Amino acid sequence: MTIDSNEFSPGEGKSRLHELFEAAKAKDEFEFACTLLRVRGVEGAGWDPFGETHQLVEDLISIINAPLVPHTKVRLGLLLYSHLTEVGATHDMLANLTRVIAGERYIIDPFLDRYPRNRKGEPQFFSTPGKVRALREMLDSVNHSPVVETLDWFFHASVRNTSRPLSAASGAAQRETRSNSLRTPSAAYTASARRPGTRPRRTRRRSGPFTRPPPTGPSDTTPVFKGVG
């Protein structure tokens, strides 16, 4: 398999992942078992992402092998690839394997301490490219760079239509750019605010559902005809 500068056989990729699993097992078998079981607490039946993904792979491959036009098969293959790159259970398992190798314990969300935070310190949405960047750092920290190369081969930005690169520095720079854009007022608003002679528009506070008091007596509603009677 060759994409860009990455070239290796399927057996080599499988061997690299096998070494990662064996290293975690040798470090702590109990935490390794928790990682494989993906202990998540109490939940309803039929919510296993691996089971759903396995069924989806079989369904799409059976459709791809049907007599379809080539472009349709390519679209279905791209749909399958996009889904596989978004399976969070895979990222969580690999991240927990690196935690076990580093002597840490299994946790339900191994990326929690890497989530972007708002000004209140609350965790925000963590995108899949962000998880992949964090996973690369975690794998490098336990000296499993061959798995990083395999990850880079599989999570290919140009195929996945991801314009953002996977480096941590570029991610931080783009987050800062978005943050500055949210704090900077628009040019139209700035121009109107600086226009001489303009005043802020006041909003009249209403005490009830009526803009004016309702009629209180017959004199307000009964018409008066002068010169009659």
User: How do the domains of the chain map onto residue ranges?
Assistant: 2-183
Tokens of 219: 């004199």
DSSP string, 122-184: -B----HHHHHHHHHHHHHHTT-HHHHHHHHHHS-HHHHT--S-S-HHHHHHHHHHHHHHHHS
Q: What is the pTM of this model?
A: 0.63
The secondary structure of 18-55, three-state, reads HHHHHHHHHHCHHHHHHHHHCCCCCCCCCCCHHHHHHH
pLDDT-derived band at 115 (thresholds 50, 70, 90) equals: confident
> What is the share, in percent, of the chain residues with pLDDT greater than 70?
65
Q: What is the mean pLDDT of residues 50-60?
A: 88
- Residue pair 64/77 in contact (Cβ under 8 Å)? The answer is yes
Q: What is the mean pLDDT of residues 115-138?
A: 86
pLDDT-derived band at 167 (thresholds 50, 70, 90) equals: very low
pLDDT-derived band at 33 (thresholds 50, 70, 90) equals: very high
pLDDT at 160: 64
Per-residue pLDDT of 56-89, as tens digits, reads 899 999 999 989 888 999 899 888 888 888 888 8
pLDDT at 99: 94
- Residue pair 142/102 in contact (Cβ under 8 Å)? The answer is yes
Q: CA of 72: how far to CAs of 75, 77, 79, 154, 158, in Å?
A: 5, 9, 11, 22, 20
Q: Which stretch of 97-111, 113-127, 142-156, 197-211 has the lowest confidence by average pLDDT?
A: 197-211
- Cα–Cα distance measured from residue 181 to residue 174, given in angstroms and rounded to the nearest whole number: 11
| pLDDT of residue 191 exceeding 50 | no
Q: What is the mean pLDDT of residues 21-40?
A: 91
Nearest Cα neighbor of 96 from 58, 55, 145, 131 is: 131
Nearest Cα neighbor of 35 from 95, 87, 93 is: 93
pLDDT-derived band at 48 (thresholds 50, 70, 90) equals: confident
Higher pLDDT, 145 or 218: 145
Which three-class secondary structure state does DSSP give residue 112?
helix
Cβ-based neighbour number of residue 134 at 10 Å = 20
pLDDT at 195: 56
Cβ-based neighbour number of residue 20 at 10 Å = 19
- Cα–Cα distance measured from residue 26 to residue 48, given in angstroms and rounded to the nearest whole number: 27
pLDDT-derived band at 217 (thresholds 50, 70, 90) equals: low
Phi, psi of 176 (to 5 degrees): -65, -35
Higher pLDDT, 192 or 146: 146
Q: CA of 187: how far to CAs of 46, 84, 183, 190, in Å?
A: 51, 42, 13, 5
